[in-house]
Amino acid sequence: MAGPRVEVDGGIMEGGGQILRVSTALSCLLGLPLRVQKIRAGRSTPGLRPQHLSGLEMIRDLCDGQLEGAEIGSTEIMFTPEKIKGGVHTADTKTAGSVCLLMQVSMPCVLFAACPSELRLKGGTNAEMAPQIDYTAMVFKPIVEKFGFTFNCDIKMRGYYPKGGGEVIVRMSPVKQLSPINLTDRGCVTKIYGRAFVAGVLPFKVAKDMAAAAVRCIRKEIRDLYVNIQPVQEPKDQAFGNGNGIIIIAETSTGCLFAGSSLGKRGVNADKVGIEAAEMLLANLRHGGAVDEYLQDQLIIFMALASGISRIKTGPVTLHTQTAIHFAEQLAKAKFTVKKSEDEEDASKDTYIIECQGIGMTNPNL
């Protein structure tokens, strides 16, 4: 099984946790022994943080692999994968580290397990610097399922910065192969909806203010659509700690989904949080792509594994996406091309087509 170790430089490009997630997931899937050096070398707190560690340990447990150098602050790890197995797997960041990022690293792996899996992920569900669980459930899930699999995402408890304490259970069955996707026809926006939440001690008025400010901001640009943003008070038994935030989703005639979201912080007024999310959504609608900037990089690993040619139309290609492509090419030997879109309607916009010849990964267990 084990060939020569693949060397990954954790300090290039995005230079953070993402390199670790993409490279260890691919290592696990392809049975490639891996060494990652200079982990988060340029960050203010270099090396592994608790959430990276829990992700690595989860991948190790998923495949009965061996992991060396995995401790807080470590800038180099060695990982030797074995056979991926299904069943129940738990990962706990013990902080507000994002459960969504834990899902990102583990999901591609368990698709190629021998039997169904249940991932119990603990940490922050609505945390900074990561997708919110609502984004994962409302945007990532329906789009990624176009690769030909389904998963169930059960939000048991929401958790916020700084304590975390959230829990999400993801259930999925393995697949034989992934189908390629084509997300190039954006269609026109048909609905805009969302949720503005408060949890813990924050007054419900904050949720209403975020929603109202977001609606006002969107109305300035999109006048002919009803914008339905529900203010929500998270039930006490389903939320740990205090938090507030908003996610707004635009759906198109061809089933594309775009989002804007924002989280409240101490001393930031509710209107500002709502407006930030609305402006993010509007920016994602201006570029003419068929996926938003956050979905881009999350689709790359699936495109690389699929059997056949996948195409997605995007706005400006993010550093996260360039990083994911780089490592998918280095480790999986998938072939990607990124070209400016040649469609007339995109001529005035910064729109690209990312195309990938996937490697046609086959599940050896099925």
Show binding-site residues for ATP.
104, 294-298
Exposed (0-12), middle (13-18) or buried (19+): which is 118, by Cβ within 10 Å? Answer: middle
In sequence order, the 6+-apart residues with CB closer than 8 A to the CB of 206 are 198, 244, 264, 270
Exposed (0-12), middle (13-18) or buried (19+): which is 88, by Cβ within 10 Å? Answer: exposed
Q: Say how many C-beta atoms besides its own lie within 10 A of residue 269's C-beta.
A: 13
Residue 212 to residue 266: CA distance in whole angstroms: 20
**Count of all residues that appear for the chain in the document:** 366
Tokens, residue 335: 């072939």
Give residue for tokens 């879109």: 341
Rg (C-alpha) for the chain, rounded Å, is 20
Written as one letter, the residue type at 343 is D
According to DSSP, the β-strands at 6-9 and 34-37 are parallel
Q: Which uninterrupted H or E stretch holds 228?
A: strand 227-233
Active site (catalytic) residues: 320
184: three-class secondary structure by DSSP:
coil
Q: Say how many C-beta atoms besides its own lie within 10 A of residue 348's C-beta.
A: 8
Residue 13 to residue 162: CA distance in whole angstroms: 28
Cross-strand bridge partners of residue 78: 35, 68
Residue 262 to residue 246: CA distance in whole angstroms: 6
